[in-house]
A and B are shown apart, each in its own frame.
Chain A
Amino acid sequence: EAGVVQSPRYKIIEKKQPVAFWCNPISGHNTLYWYRQNLGQGPELLIRYENEEAVDDSQLPKDRFSAERLKGVDSTLKIQPAELGDSAVYLCASSLDSRQESTDTQYFGPGTRLTVL
């Protein structure tokens, strides 16, 4: 069974440029998460989707960050414009269905390492 797929794995951009990350969750997983992991820190949740609905985006900086999950499968996270402080690893995770079992196991992708110059 394929795991969570993310692309690109690495991205280097100049500040004020836009950038987008793509995530394909495990087949059949209804819940999708985007996390940001700063250097030397644990992951922090940015947004959680149940199918195509964003049910928790309270930590997403909405002035420059946006996300979508069309058709409830793949998801894209966008930053426009990027700032120096956005340099981090962006992790995508998925789980079966949080409504069936609370705190269901989350499976993580390898992440996208973003460097903003």
Chain B
Amino acid sequence: AQSVTQLGSHVSVSEGALVLLRCNYSSSVPPYLFWYVQYPNQGLQLLLKYTSAATLVKGINGFEAEFKKSETSFHLTKPSAHMSDAAEYFCAVGVFGNEKLTFGTGTRLTIIP
């Protein structure tokens, strides 16, 4: 079985500041890891995914995440926050051969002007 823990249900950063959203996973086998973003009244949009290739994964909108096996983490970062980044972010874990994704409870990102 796999699980995801997102630390911090709400994160606020100033416009132009570093964005760091934390995700820790648990999996008995090598995981596939995902970050999705959800804007109000919309579905989830894939930001990036890790599938056992490079540990540093670059995604859309300037976001990136680093897979750290020793820390069982897959934190999402962006060097400079923009107002348009305000949304809910979900980390998810999947397992090879299993299409079932397990999502975290989400982190709501607020950008302070």
Contact = CB atoms under 8 A, between A and B. Distances in A.
Interface of A: 4, 9, 31, 33, 40-45, 48, 56, 91, 93, 95, 98, 102-111, 113
A43 B49 CA distance: 17
Interface of B: 4, 9, 32, 36, 41-46, 49, 51, 90, 92, 94-101, 103-106
Contacts of A105: 46, 49
Instruction: Tell me the interface secondary structure of chain A in the complex.
Output: loop
A84 to B, nearest CB: 22
A81 to B, nearest CB: 27
Contacts of B98: 102-103
Given A42-B90, A43-B44, A109-B43, A103 B96 contact: yes
Contacts of A43: 44, 90, 101, 103
